[in-house]
């Protein structure tokens, strides 16, 4: 009995950590999209977005047999077998690439015009609908991985709830930090483009380990933090007196 409880505790910790790591993409996208809402609506937008993700993931746990059917062949193109999961990954990747590219374009265009009014035009319903679309994609990716690691419904459900509580606690500070630093926002959008490429490649049966994406992002963040510190310190004496 004690051994079983220990196994469940280890599985719960592992799955919760995995869900948080896999949810980084979701938090970044959520922070950027919700940042287009008025300040007073952003907290509600984050809560609705994460609760929607929680609802999708719990529902998918109940539909484990349906998840298994997503890996079955729907049709083939020459020798390439297309499954339901492939279609979801392909469409989700394209959506994420197009959305992130559009956000970068709007940001640069707004800065050139000296106005940020473009960032304030999104309605609450539009923002939530965009978050829900990406929640579906990320939820399928997350739950398929969880089901492969543990067959215990209660352990998986507990891990999903705990990870969402952790993400809800950190989504606000992360979102505020991203939106307060324009260069960090562009970096986050570039990260989402990489995630979109990874999803699209996955739909083509070409697996790119997420560790590569996260390492690239971590290295870019380190460089940007150094740049931010250098800008805050001001020009060096040699730069002030050429």
- Per-domain residue ranges of the chain: 1-72+84-233
Find the mean pLDDT for residues 79-99.
83
Residue 198's pLDDT is 85
| % residues pLDDT > 90 (the chain) | 0
Residue with tokens 């996955």: 202
pLDDT 10s digits, 63-72? 766 666 677 7
Q: Look at residues 165, 99, 94, 169 and name the one whose alpha carbon lies nearest to residue 127.
A: 99
Residue 145's pLDDT is 65
Residue 55's pLDDT is 81
Average pLDDT, the chain: 76
Over 70: is that where the pLDDT of 119 sits? Answer: no
pLDDT band at 117 (very low <50, low <70, confident <90, very high): very low
pTM over 0.85: no
Over 60: is that where the pLDDT of 43 sits? Answer: yes
In sequence order, the 6+-apart residues with CB closer than 8 A to the CB of 19 are 142, 146, 159, 160, 162, 163, 164
Phi, psi of 205 (to 5 degrees): 70, 25
Rg (CA), the chain: 20
The answer to whether 10 and 155 have CB atoms below 8 angstroms apart is: no
Taken in order 67, 69, 72, 74, the sign of the CA dihedral is negative
In this predicted structure, which of 43-47, 114-118, 128-132 has the lowest mean pLDDT? 114-118
CA distances from 176 to 168, 170, 180, 201, 225 (A): 13, 10, 6, 31, 16
Find the mean pLDDT for residues 195-203.
85
Residue 28's pLDDT is 80
| % residues pLDDT > 70 (the chain) | 79
Taken in order 144, 150, 151, 154, the sign of the CA dihedral is negative
Coil, helix or strand for 115? coil
């Amino acid at each position: 009995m004690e051994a079983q409880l220990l196994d469940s505790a280890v599985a719960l910790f592992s799955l919760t950590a995995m869900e948080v790591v896999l949810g980084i993409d979701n938090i970044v996208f959520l922070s950027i999209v919700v940042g287009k809402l008025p300040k007073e609506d952003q907290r509600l937008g984050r809560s609705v977005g994460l609760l929607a993700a929680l609802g999708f993931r719990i529902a998918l746990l109940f539909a484990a047999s349906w998840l298994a059917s997503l890996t079955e062949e729907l049709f083939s193109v020459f020798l390439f077998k297309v499954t339901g999961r492939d279609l979801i990954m392909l469409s989700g990747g394209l959506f994420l690439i197009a959305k992130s590219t559009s956000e970068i374009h709007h940001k640069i265009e707004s800065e050139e015009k000296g106005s940020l009014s473009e960032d304030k035009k999104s309605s609450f319903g539009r923002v939530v609908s965009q978050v829900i679309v990406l929640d579906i994609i990320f939820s399928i990716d997350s739950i398929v991985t969880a089901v492969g690691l543990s067959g215990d419904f209660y352990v998986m459900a507990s891990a999903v709830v705990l990870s969402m509580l952790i993400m809800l606690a950190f989504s606000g500070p992360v979102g505020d930090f991203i939106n307060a630093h324009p260069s960090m926002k562009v970096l986050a959008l570039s990260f989402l483009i990489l995630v979109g490429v990874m999803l699209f490649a996955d739909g083509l049966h070409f697996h790119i380990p997420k560790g590569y994406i996260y390492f690239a992002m971590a290295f870019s963040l380190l460089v940007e933090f150094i740049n931010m510190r250098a800008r805050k310190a001001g020009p060096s004496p040699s730069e002030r007196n050429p």
